[in-house]
Amino acid sequence: MTRTTRLMVCVALFLGLSTVLCAQSLGKFNPEENRGARGPRKFTSKDVYIANFSVNYQLYNLRTSTTKGGLGSRMLSGNTKASLAVGLDIPVNTLQELTDDAYRQFVQDLESKGFNVLNGDAAANTGYYEGYQRFESMEMSLAEAPGVVTVYPQNTVFFVKGFTSGGQKKQGGFLGSIDRVTGDAHNARADEIRTYPKLSAELDDATIVNVDLYVLFLNDEKAYQGNGAKVTATTNLCLSANEHITGRVANNSTTTKLGLTGSTKEQTFQCVSSIDFIQGRNKIGGSPLGTYCGVLKKDLNITGVIGKEKIQSYAKTDHDFIGTETAFGKMYRADNISVENTALIKADAAKYENGVNQALNTFLSHHVNEFKTKFF
């Protein structure tokens, strides 16, 4: 079964409906440049090489909260477990079309501003990509972040260091696919970007570009509140600025149900929408000569696509503080409570595509213009 087929299977897992609104629009757009270390800011070449272009779409979230009971203060409490699974009903081909269109407009925008976008194979013989695998049409991946499908533009060449046993793409930095200190793959991506000066130098100081965007539809709330286990989520479609999502990560090599039968361990992942431009390499130290990183100050909300809803699963703790007198003394009994809730958020695919397309292109066109205006 292919990864694309597995994505389609998920629809059958969820029950329930959500009201769809009528018109799509964007909330307040708050872009900014993430300067970081204030080093050299020199861009000379108008050649551009796109090393990565990926859009990550949140399609589901599966969370579980538990409490452990016991006997204390002459009262017995039972264990509780609350599970909440929420899915977004969007066809797979819509996600691919969105990504292909965003990439196409991104390249056209660069070229219209006088940049020369190099073919993917321009870096095929570089030492930087020695030992890497070449892909002309990267498959969608369910393994990069919990509940998220990562989509790449089709008929476009990218080079990948390899994949972990769980299906995660290995990054080209020193730490690999997962940051060993924080456990966050986002930091590993940043580590890879720090190696781009070497690739730029091998491509006659071409600007190396990395685009990684996150479209989310759920906000997690506190996993446990009150007397029992509770999981709560609210719907909010947006292009993420800097959000942390928690859920189960799929294992592409084994799962057939979008991760629900994959890893049972919940993981937290940082979702930062960003675009990086890196050019040149200092002879001493190897740092870049020019850097520009475009991000968002706040989430870019996409309204009019899905309704605002609050969904929860709550298992209230069963207590026995009275007990029952027997010939052998007072006996206590409390039941263990387990509650599961599932919901499918319905959205019109055309409205989703239109709203997300606006968000992606607003973000990308702004930062391409900023890059051109500031340095050329």
Handedness of CA 88, 93, 99, 101 (dihedral sign): negative
* Residue 22, pLDDT score: 45
297 touches 241 (CB < 8 A): yes
* Residue 275, pLDDT score: 97
Minimum mean pLDDT range among 84-93, 281-290, 324-333: 324-333
- Rg of the chain on CA atoms, in Å: 24
Residue 47 has pLDDT above 90, yes or no: yes
Instruction: For residue 218, report the phi and psi dihedrals to the nearest 5 degrees.
Output: -130, 145
Minimum mean pLDDT range among 77-81, 141-145, 327-331: 327-331
* Residue 371, pLDDT score: 97
% pLDDT > 90, the chain: 45
* Residue 311, pLDDT score: 74
Residue 256 has pLDDT above 60, yes or no: no
* Residue 374, pLDDT score: 94
* Residue 93, pLDDT score: 93
Residue 263 has pLDDT above 60, yes or no: no
Q: What is the mean pLDDT of residues 317-332?
A: 57
Tokens of 135: 């892909």
Q: What is the mean pLDDT of residues 67-77?
A: 69
DSSP β-ladder status, 116-117 and 47-58: parallel
- With cut-offs at 50, 70 and 90, classify the pLDDT of residue 80: confident
Residue 105 has pLDDT above 90, yes or no: yes
Buried b (16+ CB within 10 A) or exposed e, 298-308: ebbbbbbbbee
Amino acid occupying residue 86: V
DSSP β-ladder status, 158-160 and 148-151: unpaired
What's the N-to-C CA distance of the chain in angstroms? 48
* Residue 147, pLDDT score: 86
* Residue 335, pLDDT score: 60
* Residue 319, pLDDT score: 58
* Residue 8, pLDDT score: 33
Q: What is the mean pLDDT of residues 247-254?
A: 54
Amino acid occupying residue 236: N
The span from the CA of 88 to the CA of 111, in Å, is 35
3-state SS record for the chain: CCHHHHHHHHHHHCCCCCCCCCCCEECCCCEEECCCCCCCCCCCCCEEEEEEEEEEEECEEEEEEEECCEEECCEEECCEEEEEEEEEECCHHHHHHHHHHHHHHHHHHHHHCCCEECCHHHHCCCCCCCCCEEECCCCCECCCCCCEEEECCCCCCEEECCECCCCCECCCCCCCCCCCCCCCHHHHHHHHHCCHHHHHHHCCCCEEEEEEEEEEEEEECCCCCCCEEEEEEEEEEEECCEEEEEEECCCCCCCCCCCCCCCCCEEEEEEECEEEEEECCCCCCCCCCEEEEEEECCCEEEECCCCCCEEEEEEECCEECCCEEECCEEECCCCCEEEEEEEEEECCHHHHHHHHHHHHHHHHHHHHHHHHHHHC
Amino acid occupying residue 332: Y
70 touches 320 (CB < 8 A): no
CA neighbor of 343 nearest in space, from 214, 230, 262, 234: 234
Of 270 and 323, which is predicted with more confidence?
270
334 touches 98 (CB < 8 A): no
Instruction: Please write the tens of the pLDDT for every residue from 204-239.
Output: 999 999 999 999 998 766 555 556 767 777 888 999
Around Cβ 358, how many Cβ atoms within 10 Å? 16
